[in-house]
Amino acid sequence: MKSTDNRIIWKEKNDFELLGLINRFIDKNEIVTVREYQKKLADNSGQAPSLWIINQRFGSWDKMLLSLGKKTYQRYKWDEYSDSKLEKLVKKFITDNQIRSQRRYEKKCVGENMPSLSTLKKRFQDVRPFFSSEKEKKVSDFEMMYLLKTEIERLNLEASLSRRAFEQNYDRKIMPSPSTIIRRTGKTWEELMKEIGFNYREIKIKRITKNLKQNQK
């Protein structure tokens, strides 16, 4: 006996019928995001059209939701939040749910109208401060600056003050990332270097001049 090709079944239905099926499936399973839809559909094969069918018929998941009169899941709405506002929102969620790890957050935020872990990483680069202990949070700006200078000297980066080289080699066990320090102090890398006693601009000019001379040879 041949198996039924669901693609043919969905293709035979008009937009109104298809939207009705999708709407009932979404409401029945309390689905908010496209990821939830795909997961529920995997557990209930044949009860609703695939995402491929939805994209083919309506253009996209969001356009289909608009056709149903439902609010779309604003994937990029977090761009409208300032760093401080987003940080405050996430920290409250982490505290309220007693989240201690990135893995736990990744599981807990699903369906909770919270930014995903990947979204946070793209925005803040280093997300470890969100999950750090109270002791780590109490590190003063002075201590951070001291650790920064100590690490630069340990890595012998005084001659270049390269942020990239520093990020690749600094000891992550003893200090926060450069991105965290920059965000917390509100200073640029050049300003941080100046504050801890280095002349970043002078070193940068020397490096550029040296490169120009080498290119002229």
pLDDT over threshold 70, residue 7: no
Structural tokens at position 88: 């405050």
DSSP letters, 199-216, are -HHHHHHHHHHHHHHHHH
The residue among 170 and 123 whose pLDDT is bigger is: 170
Give, in order, the Cα–Cα distances in Å from 9 to each of 12, 13, 39: 5, 7, 21
Q: What is the C-alpha separation between 197 and 203, in angstroms, rounded?
A: 13
Per-residue pLDDT, 6: 59
Per-residue pLDDT, 71: 63
Domains in the chain: boundaries: 6-68, 77-131, 139-207
185, 138 in Cβ contact below 8 A?
A: no
Q: Mean per-residue pLDDT for 3-22?
A: 77
The residue among 157 and 205 whose pLDDT is bigger is: 157
Per-residue pLDDT, 152: 94
